[in-house]
Amino acid sequence: MKSYLFTVVSVAAAMCLFSDAATAEEKSPNIVWIVAEDMSATLGCYQDAYANTPHIDRLSRRGVRYAQAFASAPVCSPARSCLITGCYAPSTGTQPMRSAFPLPKKIRGFPALLRQRGYYTTNNVKTDYNTGSWREIIKASWDESSDTAHWRNRPRKNQPFFSVFNLMTTHQSRTMVWSRERFVEQVQSRLSDNQIHDPAAAPLPPYYPDTPVVRRTVARFYDCVSVMDQEVGAILKQLQDDGLADDTIVFFYSDHGSGMPRHKRALLDSGMHVPLLIHFPKKYQQWAPASAGQVVARLVSFVDFAPTVLSLAGATIPNYMQGKAFLGKNAAAPRKWVFGHRDRVDEAFDLARSVRGKRYLYIRNYMPHLGYNQPTAWPDLGDIRHEFYRITDSSGVSAPLWNFVKPTRPPEELYDCEQDPLNLHNLAASPEHASVLARMRQVHLRHLQTTKDLAFFPESAAWKLFAGSNPWDAARRPEFDSAGLLALYRVAADVGLAEAPAFLAHLKSGRPAVRYWGAIGLTARKTLTATARRRLEETLKDESPAVRIAAADALARHGGEAKAAPVLVGLLQHDDLNVVLHAARTIEMLGEKVRSAVPAMQQLATRAEALRPANTPATFVLSPEQDLAMFCSFAAQGFLSRVEKNDSRSR
């Protein structure tokens, strides 16, 4: 009897589920994402006269164009983590490049919820979700994730689909890293002669030097955009050929700003503003925010994309998602602010946050002793990067160019984006904008609190703090309450703004993260008192490796390299590669000040290559240890090559 009842109930449940799926298939739109990599709004429909993008421009005329859409990070993997989860990367611990932190079990990628609604989901082809849970995300999210994944592979032709196409043609590798020969063979050869951009006509922003290399690279970037436009046209034609164009909502956007210097990796609009076009067929026009061909001024962030797709598909938006739908049945009120983050990218350490309203952009650089134009192994393979490294002082160059290449940044930046769309004139010190600055500081601090931004704990320390859990769940433990996190944020907010006594007080804290920011605060000072030097020397014995590294960096930058170098060299032998990378990058940035580190950095290069062979592609994700080994190799080789170059000059 029990068996019979169980069978009846099971059949009834299955019929109910099938009915729900059938209803979804009848009413829900197909949704396609076409995602270009490393591309700002360099399109004809965004009034770029140098661009040749007829297919995308036609999509813009048939759809709506967003004027203020922004990535959550100016680099791909953290931005992709946000897109797939609907959560800010600093809340999940996925803010540094190649993060291996796991996600909580409830966060496995929003397409999984579409599959529950009866959708067929495909991803072609990139994943790189920047988390140790990437396998679980792929398994839960996609019916197919491969270089052949396509809506055409769905088992039932009336089944709704969500299909993502990631177009690599505009990626930094193609636009500036590949050899000229490889670029011509694999990209430019797909253009006719009259489609190839003339370097002499290339539009150069005022923060670029006008040299043949720069002009050729800018033209090459636009060639990549033109080829990408052809790929977009091919996908749209497939929809038309399959008779699906009238049933499909199409998104076109890029994953962040272009891969060119001062764009990718920067929280300026050049790195964060993205094109976003959405086409609504006639049957879904009720969800369109404007008529075809019109511009939408609403602020949109990547964190909103997942809930928006769920809203369009009629799926329930999970409570954990931090974004808000901007389309569909569950569309929320327009947001006033979008937020960005910049953290470690490959071997380059950093921590900066941004707040962008419709008019003003605020950037808080928590490591102002590090400039925008830091050496970075992967993009430095491009010739254009070295055009900037040749500029070593401000004489004879424009102020915007010098502001990019100089070795430091201001702790705070404020730009009026209506009057200054290229973000050239920092208004942070302007008395007329003091109230704007104060307001955006408050918005920024409130965002850190509400999202529980965990990046203010050094990576090596974070692995111990979150051991046995994941950053998201760990942040909800009592020791990470709002008051404790707020205190840490306020300590970090002293960097670049407070006087030395504040940082000396922080060095006495019982919390390692507070001591860490105390040392960074002294690093960013122009000069150090004798008292500060003594306190830093004492801190070289701190129990926390991250604190010791920060103290050594501060000392070495202020003439104390003799005592700092042995500490940094010693940490290159550490078992934790997070610690090793931190020490190695610090040595690389100190350069000649710690020339004594040459033998140890040579040993590190050998150790790193044993873990990850040097011929492994830099963009290929392996194990967390192997990725860290690659970044250690980047830092070691960068330091050694610079020392060798200096030696050759002195001969």
Domain-terminating residue out of 286, 311, 335:
335
Q: Which of 16, 45, 76, 87 is catalytic?
A: 76
Strand partners, 570: none
CA pair distance 598, 643, nearest whole angstrom:
8
Is 16 noted as a catalytic residue in this protein?
Answer: no
Predicted local distance difference test score (pLDDT) of residue 152: 98
Instruction: Tell me, yes or no, whether 386 lies in a domain.
Output: no
- The pLDDT tens digits for 126-165 are 999 999 999 999 999 999 999 999 999 999 999 999 999 9
Domain-terminating residue out of 296, 313, 335:
335
Under DSSP, is residue 108 helix (H, G, I), strand (E, B) or coil? coil
Strand partners, 31: 162, 249
To the nearest whole number, what is the mean pLDDT of the chain?
Answer: 94
> Which residues, 6+ apart, have CB-to-CB distance to 408 below 8 Å?
368, 369, 370, 371
How large is the average pLDDT for residues 362-375? 98
**Where in the sequence is the domain holding 642, given as residue range(s)?**
560-651
Sign of the Cα pseudo-torsion (625, 627, 629, 635, in order): negative
Q: For residue 125, say if its preceding peptide bond is cis, omega within 30 degrees of 0.
A: yes
Q: What percent of the chain has pLDDT over 70?
A: 95
Torsion of CA 290, 295, 301, 307, to 10 degrees: 20
Given a cut of 80, is residue 564 above it in pLDDT? Answer: yes
- The pLDDT tens digits for 184-235 are 999 999 999 999 999 999 999 999 999 999 999 999 999 999 999 999 999 9
Predicted local distance difference test score (pLDDT) of residue 10: 39
Contact 559, 530 (CB under 8 A): no
Given a cut of 70, is residue 13 above it in pLDDT? Answer: no
Sign of the Cα pseudo-torsion (314, 316, 319, 320, in order): negative
Predicted local distance difference test score (pLDDT) of residue 647: 85
Contact 225, 39 (CB under 8 A): yes
Under DSSP, is residue 433 helix (H, G, I), strand (E, B) or coil? helix
Q: 463 falls in which pLDDT band (50, 70, 90)? A: very high
CATH of the domain at 230: 3.40.720.10
How do strand 352-356 and strand 338-342 relate by DSSP bridges? antiparallel
Given a cut of 50, is residue 41 above it in pLDDT? Answer: yes
- The pLDDT tens digits for 90-135 are 999 999 999 999 999 999 899 999 999 999 999 999 999 999 999 9
How large is the average pLDDT for residues 328-343? 97
Given a cut of 60, is residue 19 above it in pLDDT? Answer: no
Q: How many residues does the chain have?
A: 651
Strand stretches in 120-218, DSSP E: 120-124, 144-145, 161-167
How do strand 161-167 and strand 120-124 relate by DSSP bridges? parallel
Under DSSP, is residue 122 helix (H, G, I), strand (E, B) or coil? strand
Predicted local distance difference test score (pLDDT) of residue 8: 35
Q: 6 falls in which pLDDT band (50, 70, 90)? A: very low
Sheet with strand 273-279: strands edge to edge: 144-145, 120-124, 161-167, 30-36, 248-254, 273-279, 64-70, 295-301
Instruction: Tell me, yes or no, whether 294 lies in a domain.
Output: yes
Contact 132, 102 (CB under 8 A): yes
Instruction: Tell me, yes or no, whether 167 lies in a domain.
Output: yes
Q: Which of 490, 533, 535, 516 is nearest to 586 (CA)?
A: 516
Instruction: Tell me, yes or no, whether 166 lies in a domain.
Output: yes
In the chain, the number of structural domains is: 2
Tell me, what DSSP letter sits at residue 103? P
Predicted local distance difference test score (pLDDT) of residue 618: 66
Instruction: Tell me, yes or no, whether 400 lies in a domain.
Output: no
Q: Which of 364, 386, 362, 359 is nearest to 375 (CA)?
A: 386
Tell me, what DSSP letter sits at residue 9? H
Contact 553, 564 (CB under 8 A): yes
Instruction: Tell me, yes or no, whether 472 lies in a domain.
Output: no
Given a cut of 60, is residue 20 above it in pLDDT? Answer: no
Given a cut of 50, is residue 14 above it in pLDDT? Answer: no
Predicted local distance difference test score (pLDDT) of residue 624: 87
Predicted local distance difference test score (pLDDT) of residue 217: 98
Radius of gyration (C-alpha) of the chain in whole angstroms = 25
Instruction: Tell me, yes or no, whether 503 lies in a domain.
Output: no
- The pLDDT tens digits for 384-404 are 999 999 999 999 999 999 999
How large is the average pLDDT for residues 555-560? 97
Q: 619 falls in which pLDDT band (50, 70, 90)? A: low
Amino acid identity of residue 3, one-letter, is: S
Given a cut of 60, is residue 2 above it in pLDDT? Answer: no
Counting Cβ atoms within 10 Å, is residue 427 exposed (0-12), middle (13-18) or buried (19+)? buried
Domain-terminating residue out of 291, 319, 335:
335
